Amino acid sequence: MLDATGVIGIARAFSYGGFSHIPLFDPERLKESTVKYFYDKLLKLKDMMNTETARKIAGERHKYMEEFLNRLMENRINGTLV
Q: What is the CATH number of the domain that holds 29?
A: 1.20.58.1910
Q: Could you give the CA distance from residue 9 to residue 20 in angstroms, rounded to a whole number?
A: 16
Question: What confidence tier does 46 reach under pLDDT thresholds 50, 70, 90?
Answer: very high
Domain interval for residue 22: 2-77
- Determine the pLDDT at residue 81: 55
Residue 33 belongs to a domain: yes
Whether the per-residue pLDDT at 80 is higher than 90: the answer is no
Whether the per-residue pLDDT at 73 is higher than 70: the answer is yes
Number of domains, the chain: 1
pLDDT digits (tens, 9 = 90+) for 1-40: 889 999 999 999 999 999 999 988 877 766 789 999 999 9
Q: Could you give the CA distance from residue 72 to residue 49 in angstroms, rounded to a whole number?
A: 26
- Determine the pLDDT at residue 31: 77
Query: If you ran DSSP here, which 8-state letter would residue 25 be given?
Result: -
- Determine the pLDDT at residue 69: 93
Residue 82 belongs to a domain: no
